Amino acid sequence: MTMTPAQALRTPKDRVTPGAGRSAAFFDLDGTLIPGSANVPLARAAFRAGLVTPQELVRDLRNGAAFLLKGATDERREAVRDRILSAVAGRPAEEMTTLADVVIPELVASIPPAMHAVLDEHATAGRDRVLLSASPTEIVTGLADAAGLERAAGTTSEVDDEGRYTGRLAGPSCSAEGKAEILRAVAQEHDYDLAASYAYADSMSDLPILEAVGHPVVVNPEAELREIAEDRGWPIVETSRFPRVAVTDLHGWVRMSQRLAVASVGAVVALGTRPIEALGGIDGVTEAA
């Protein structure tokens, strides 16, 4: 059932766990807390720093556009992860910190108002907000700090004794089952009651973290995850004008085409020769279908 973020926070009495302890709210990053992929501004910054080629930049920008519409496959995530590991191998770890300082303000600014409201609601309720993402730890922890979240975990690259990246991971990748493993480790370390906790995510690869908590909420979901949420009665929150659709979902593509047409008309009227800016894709408006 599609609802507003505020409605998703209203827990039915029959789902409140008696004697529930300290709880947390876990947030995926790409497509959930922010509308697109953190890899896009990271790729631009890496290109300017000479870490990726023009061809790789174009590929990442194309993948970022595809992510907005359809989400990302596990294979694509792994390919991006492996390319990042390869690109930074042998380079000082301080370079990634420098890139993080460049892209974090842009990422924080892209958090839609609706998700800011969710973060505030959980803070008011006394829950720790935990950011979990497959993006580099340097990006994820910096973003969490800048946004005022209590904790964060990302994918950590191994660093040698000289402070240079080895091109290998230091621990599990924070995606799919690995993300759920990290979620449970964080919960154990900080004594979070997962049955009383929330998780927000957008993709099928995040199903393990949604199933790990008592209150899963799907945000801008991929088509397959939307079906699962509808079957299980999980709250569905839309912060995007253009919900993701499956290739075979004719009605979904019709709805998207209609919304694109409306946005295009508004863009031409409002900005004349600058329609791309008005189409921005996601502006934090919460819609209920």
Q: In whole angstroms, what is the distance from residue 193 CA to residue 31 CA?
A: 26
State the CB neighbour count (10 A cutoff) for residue 230.
Answer: 14
3-state secondary structure of 24: strand
DSSP H or E segment with residue 128: strand 128-136
Residue 28 annotated as catalytic: yes
Burial class (CB within 10 angstroms; exposed 0-12, middle 13-18, buried 19+) of 237: buried
Sign of the CA dihedral 117, 119, 122, 123? negative
CB 238 within 8 A of CB 245: no
CA gap 9, 4 in Å, rounded? 9
Asked if 144 contacts 151 with a C-beta cutoff of 8 angstroms, the reply is yes
Phi, psi of 9 (to 5 degrees): -85, -10
135 closest CA partner among 254, 28, 234: 28
Instruction: Give me the catalytic one of 14, 30, 60, 160.
Output: 30
Strand partners, 112: none
- Please state, in angstroms and rounded to a whole number, the distance separating the CA atoms of residues 225 and 12: 22
φ and ψ at residue 109, rounded to 5 degrees: -65, -20
145 catalytic? Reply is: no
How is residue 19 written in tokens?
Answer: 């004697």
- Point out the catalytic residue in the list 28, 128, 202, 206: 28
What are the tokens at 85? 């590991």
Active-site residue numbers?
Answer: 28, 30
